[in-house]
Amino acid sequence: MNVLEELVVRGVLKDKSVGVEDFILKNKVNIYCGVDPTGDSLHVGHLVPIITLMRLKNVCVNNIYLLIGGATGMIGDPSFKSVERVFLEKSEIDRNVCCICDQVKSLFNMHNCDVNIVNNSEWYSKMNVIDFLREGKYMTVNYMSSKESVKRRISDGISFTEFSYQLLQAYDFYYLNSKFNVNVQLGGGDQWGNVTSGIDFIRKKNGNQVHGITTRLLVKSNGCKFGKTEGGCVWLDKKKTSPYEFFQFWVNIPDDEIIEVTKMFSLRDISSIDTDISNQVENKCRSVLQRELAKEMTSFIHGDSEMKKCLEISDVLFGSRDFECFRNIEDIIDNLKYIRNVHVSRSKLSECVSCYDFLCTACLNSFFESKSDISRSIASNSVFINKIKVRSREEAFNKDILNYDFILVQKGKKNYFIVFLE
């Protein structure tokens, strides 16, 4: 099974240019993938193309180029967007470029994979408007309008600014092909129109044969893009999404989605994944795939050390380990701040008589919506303090726990809250 056949088996490959298999397997391939700096961090949605680049590098790719769109980020890709993007200020885009550049370098270095980072503002900043418009002779308006990625916008109205994005991306491919002999473009599933525009642009301008492939966009069962939660994107930057939150994102993938997700993201051999799938399906071993993928992806992005800390936290919160074990793991205490929390003075809590008093004082509004919510939760036996069930509103509050640095509050099976003591 060659590398493209494996991408098909994994459900990664969406579109490919004619003859790309023979080209990749018989030639020295220089491949590029682009990302626009619309934020100061990459997110989970960027992982499929990044992992695909690394898979290809191990087999048939000579050089990887990661293009950060310092110029195209100021325009905005209209592909399959229902409304025009809001312009970002140049200062914000420049900052985002620096952040993503550092993030990409760190990630590829961590996995001993060479990457060349380029910024298309390097060449567009030297090109005047007349030079750019003269490049448009290689792409007709009819051709550009026929692309599915913009067709739906044309009927409602699309600005010339966004319409020109297709030409910008095509020229990017041409520039990289001319200067670095880049001959394959990798894009997301919504980029096929832009990718083929680049292939045709190069063929018309200099006659070179280049190719393109796209990865499939993963959509959750509820129709939302994979990598989005109620709280927004799942970021790769630990300051925006903590390692623990990142770990839990993978753990909480539904059973009806986890097989597809594992095949796409895991770096393990397909045979190893199939073994785990069989164990989960035949033996009804819940969350085997989720836990393994959470470990693998957290280690991939944040390293083994952070992954082990996340495991420790998860084992205490969701496993059978005693809470006292949790207190003694000093190297993971910092990770507690990644769980919803509040800081409360010991003196204030020392006045509490009952567990109900404690919950009202420490957790009202920040974890429980109201005093009625606290009462209902206690009555339904779903409230725990340091993993000990609160059995009634009148149950005495154990003030000995104020001698520690924090208190763990739980509501239901999965909702945890930390009260840090000051």
CB 55 within 8 A of CB 13: no
Identify whether 85 is a catalytic site residue: yes
Q: From the candidates 111, 179, 204, 225, which is the catalytic residue?
A: 225
Inform me whether the pLDDT recorded for 329 exceeds 80: no
Give the whole-angstrom CA distance, residue 164 versus residue 169: 9
Q: Classify domain 3-215 by CATH number.
A: 3.40.50.620
pLDDT, position 231: 63
Please determine, for residue 266, whether its predicted confidence score (pLDDT) is greater than 90. Answer: yes
pLDDT digits (tens, 9 = 90+) for 365-389: 888 989 999 999 999 999 999 888 9
Annotated active-site residue in 10, 14, 16, 46: 46
Would you call 38 a catalytic residue per the annotation? yes
Bridge partner residues of 245 (DSSP): none
Residue among 15, 55, 85, 373 flagged as catalytic: 85
92 to each of 38, 123, 195, 386, how far by Cα in Å?
9, 20, 27, 44
Going 397 to 401 to 403 to 405, the CA torsion angle's sign is: negative
Q: Is 214 annotated as catalytic?
A: no
Summarize pLDDT for 115-160 with one digit per residue, the tens.
Answer: 999 999 999 999 999 999 999 888 888 888 887 767 777 777 788 8
Cβ proximity of 103 and 301 under 8 Å = no
Catalytic pick from 72, 103, 169, 298?
A: 169
Cβ neighbors of 258 (< 8 A, separation 6 or more) are 280, 289, 290, 293
Please state the domain extents for the chain. Answer: 3-215, 228-335, 340-421
Pull the structure tokens for residue 171.
Answer: 């020229």
3-state secondary structure of 352: coil
Q: Which pLDDT score, from 0 to 100, does residue 146 have?
A: 81
Question: Closest Cα partner for 180 from 46, 63, 20, 76?
Answer: 63
Instruction: Please confirm, yes or no, whether 228 is among the known catalytic residues.
Output: yes
Given the residues 15, 94, 190, 373, the one annotated as active site: 190
- Catalytic residue, chosen from 228, 321, 327, 337, is 228
Domain 340-421 sits in CATH at 3.10.290.10
The larger pLDDT score, comparing residue 332 to residue 78, is at 78
Of the candidates 229, 308, 327, 373, the residue annotated as catalytic is: 229
Percent of the chain at pLDDT exceeding 70: 91
Answer yes or no: is pLDDT of 290 > 60. Answer: yes
pLDDT value at position 218? 82
190 classed as catalytic: yes
- Can 161 be counted among the known catalytic residues? no
Catalytic residue list contains 343: no
CATH class of 228-335: mainly alpha
Q: pLDDT (tens digit, 9 = 90+) per residue, 206-231?
A: 999 999 999 998 877 666 777 766 56
Residues 55, 81, 205, 337: which is the catalytic one? 81
What is the C-alpha separation between 67 and 49, in angstroms, rounded? 13
Q: Is the separation of the CB atoms in 184 and 210 below 8 Å?
A: yes
Contacts of 375 (CB under 8 A, 6+ apart): 356, 393
Judge whether 184 and 31 are in contact, CB under 8 Å.
yes
Q: Which two tokens stand for residue 81?
A: 């967007």
- pLDDT-derived band at 201 (thresholds 50, 70, 90) equals very high
For residue 169, indicate whether it is catalytic.
yes
Q: Do domains 3-215 and 228-335 have the same CATH topology?
A: no
State the pLDDT at residue 415.
83
